[in-house]
Chains A and B, each alone.
Chain A
Amino acid sequence: GQQLNQSPQSMFIQEGEDVSMNCTSSSIFNTWLWYKQDPGEGPVLLIALYKAGELTSNGRLTAQFGITRKDSFLNISASIPSDVGIYFCAGQWTGNQFYFGTGTSLTVIP
Chain B
Amino acid sequence: GAGVSQSPRYKVAKRGQDVALRCDPISGHVSLFWYQQALGQGPEFLTYFQNEAQLDKSGLPSDRFFAERPEGSVSTLKIQRTQQEDSAVYLCASSSTRLAGPTQYFGPGTRLLVL
Contacts and interface: CB of A to CB of B under 8 A. Distances in A.
Interface string B94-113: 00000010111011110000
Interface string B41-59: 1111100100000011011
A59 interface: no
B42 A33 contact: no
B40 interface: yes
Interface in B69-108: 91, 93, 100, 102-104, 106-108
A45 B94 CA distance: 13
A97 B47 CA distance: 9
Contacts of B107: 42
B19 interface: no
A103 B56 contact: no
Contacts, number: 64
A42 B107 CA distance: 5
B45 A98 contact: yes
A96 B33 CA distance: 9
Contact of B44 (A1, A40, A92): A1
A103 B41 contact: yes
Interface of B: 4, 33, 40-45, 48, 55-56, 58-59, 91, 93, 100, 102-104, 106-109
Interface of A: 1, 3-4, 31, 33, 40-45, 48, 88, 90, 92, 95-103
12 contacts: A3-B42, A42-B108, A44-B106, A92-B100, A95-B100, A96-B45, A96-B55, A96-B100, A97-B48, A98-B45, A100-B44, A103-B41
